[in-house]
Amino acid sequence: MPLALLKYALGLGERRRHFPAPQPLKKRYDVLVIGAGGHGLACAYHLAKDHAITKVAVLDKGYLGGGNTARNTTIVRANYLTEEGTAFYKESLKLFENLSSELDINTMYSKRGHLTLAHTDAALRTARWRAGVNKHLGVRSEVVGRAELRKLCPQLNLSCEVRFPVLGALYHAPGAIARHDAVAWGYARAAYRRGVDILQNTEVTGVVVEKGRVVGVKTSRGTIAADKVLQAVAGHSSLLANKLGFRLPIRTVPLQACVSQPYQPFLDPIVVSGSLHVYISQSARGEFVMGGATDPCELYNTRSTLEFKEQLMMHILELFPQLAGANLLRQWAGLADMTPDFSPVMGKTPIRNYYIDAGWGTWGFKATPVCGKRMAECIATDTTPALLKPFALSRFENFALVGEKGAASVGH
């Protein structure tokens, strides 16, 4: 037994805090980040590390990493369909690969390979299209047939005696899973070590704007002045933006997911079917992490429904009949900010020095590192980096949508 553990058990060792104790509010900061999820914390970290801006505070109405960061299904991949999307997520994948050493925390990043199953000729055609775009941009993706699929995932039911037989798949070798909590905690700790304040249980009740320019925020613990403010409050983006008088291209719908009890290692790759609205992977703990389609209408509620489970399990059992006896352990929902073109909204807003990071629908976790890095650049230099330009809020008024059909949980 490690000595530290023994000391701790006997009550002799010092209790090391992962995070700072609650701090008193300061009067002003250079940058305030609203929302202590992965994105907000990553941005604060990169502001301090890359741009030497350390008078930064991250505010959250709850606890850090307690929102959608804790509710996603932890898949990391870059096999998107549009050039804009693929380039963006490619950089994220690269950052994710080195994240454990960069943040000095085990993110349990595990490269598994990612299979997007095709059950129709149309889906196979889209897979070829995605593979083409990916290869062109240097992302490893290829279309595989049934024979290769049998080798890559022997557990998969390739029988033709099912409602939707599998014809082939898009195989994305770098597809991975990571521990979402560790990503948020790692960024929080690394940011804190560089001087960033993390203010949990501090709800933002309003934003102070003077002459079209943001000057501070009102919180449940008093008003704080700031030169620049970033909004990164997935699931509540529209509500905050509406308070400021501008609208976002977002409909908020719940996305439900669940995990089974832990089982012995059984499934190596991540398996996704767009047509069946299913994705499944096995975590390092042995739990099957499963998710399906978003709920059918707008809702600000994280309740779980029987309809979701019925539909999801019907399809999962068609792909993996071996799981018929598996027990569900937990189920939950997150609020997904769906945009009309299945792409995020990042960069400047109609209010000066007020930046936005929103519209992360079902594709937010995998973008955490790149979004933090590039949003920090955007805030520090007040210019939109090339990688973020296609995702500006103004694209909707200019009718220049991105049209990302490689997103998860959406029918295409």
Q: Determine the Cα–Cα distance for residues 232 and 358; give it in Å rounded to an integer.
A: 6
Residues contacting residue 205 through CB under 8 Å, at least 6 positions apart: 218, 219, 220
CA nearest to 279, candidates 251, 252, 256, 299? 256
Specify whether the CB–CB gap between 381 and 273 falls below 8 A.
Answer: no
* C-alpha neighbours within 13 Å on the C-beta side of residue 335: 20
From the CB of 335, what's the least distance to another protein, in Å?
10
By the rule CB under 8 A, 396 interacts with another protein: yes
Pick the binder of another protein from 14, 161, 210, 397 (CB under 8 A). Answer: 397
Span of 180-188, 191-199, 235-243, 265-273 interacting with another protein by CB under 8 A: 235-243
Span of 35-43, 194-202, 290-298, 361-369 interacting with another protein by CB under 8 A: 290-298
Q: Which is nearer to another protein, 77 or 405 (CB)?
A: 405
Q: Determine the Cα–Cα distance for residues 184 and 364; give it in Å rounded to an integer.
A: 13
Q: Which is nearer to another protein, 23 or 242 (CB)?
A: 242
Query: Starting from the edge strand earliest in sequence, which strands make up the sheet with 328-338, in order?
Result: 142-144, 168-172, 114-118, 270-273, 278-282, 287-294, 251-262, 328-338
* C-alpha neighbours within 13 Å on the C-beta side of residue 58: 33
For 199-208, b/e burial (b = at least 16 CB within 10 A) is bbebebeebe
By the rule CB under 8 A, 389 interacts with another protein: no
Span of 76-84, 103-111, 219-227, 304-312 interacting with another protein by CB under 8 A: 304-312
Q: Determine the Cα–Cα distance for residues 18 and 182; give it in Å rounded to an integer.
A: 11
User: Hey, how many other C-beta atoms are within 10 angstroms of the C-beta on 132?
Assistant: 13
Pick the binder of another protein from 25, 95, 137, 299 (CB under 8 A). Answer: 299
Q: Which is nearer to another protein, 168 or 249 (CB)?
A: 249
Reading the block at residue 105, the tokens are: 């925390």
From the CB of 139, what's the least distance to another protein, in Å?
29
By the rule CB under 8 A, 34 interacts with another protein: no
Pick the binder of another protein from 135, 136, 243, 247 (CB under 8 A). Answer: 247
Rounded (5°) CA angle 22-64-239: 110
Count of residues of this chain found to bind another protein when the rule CB under 8 A is applied: 23
By the rule CB under 8 A, 340 interacts with another protein: yes
Span of 301-309, 347-355, 377-385, 404-412 interacting with another protein by CB under 8 A: 301-309
Q: Which is nearer to another protein, 248 or 280 (CB)?
A: 248
**Terminal C-alpha separation, the chain:** 53
Q: Which is nearer to another protein, 5 or 239 (CB)?
A: 239
By the rule CB under 8 A, 326 interacts with another protein: no
Q: Which is nearer to another protein, 13 or 340 (CB)?
A: 340
Q: Which is nearer to another protein, 193 or 247 (CB)?
A: 247
Report DSSP letters for 167-202, one per residue.
Answer: -EEEEETT-EE--HHHHHHHHHHHHHHTT-EEETT-
From the CB of 213, what's the least distance to another protein, in Å?
22
Q: Which is nearer to another protein, 197 or 337 (CB)?
A: 337
By the rule CB under 8 A, 300 interacts with another protein: yes
CA nearest to 75, candidates 267, 362, 361? 362
* C-alpha neighbours within 13 Å on the C-beta side of residue 146: 8
Span of 1-9, 158-166, 270-278, 302-310 interacting with another protein by CB under 8 A: 302-310
Q: Which is nearer to another protein, 136 or 247 (CB)?
A: 247
Residues lying near another protein in the complex (CB under 8 A) are found at 238-239, 242, 247-252, 296-301, 303, 305-307, 340, 396-397, 399
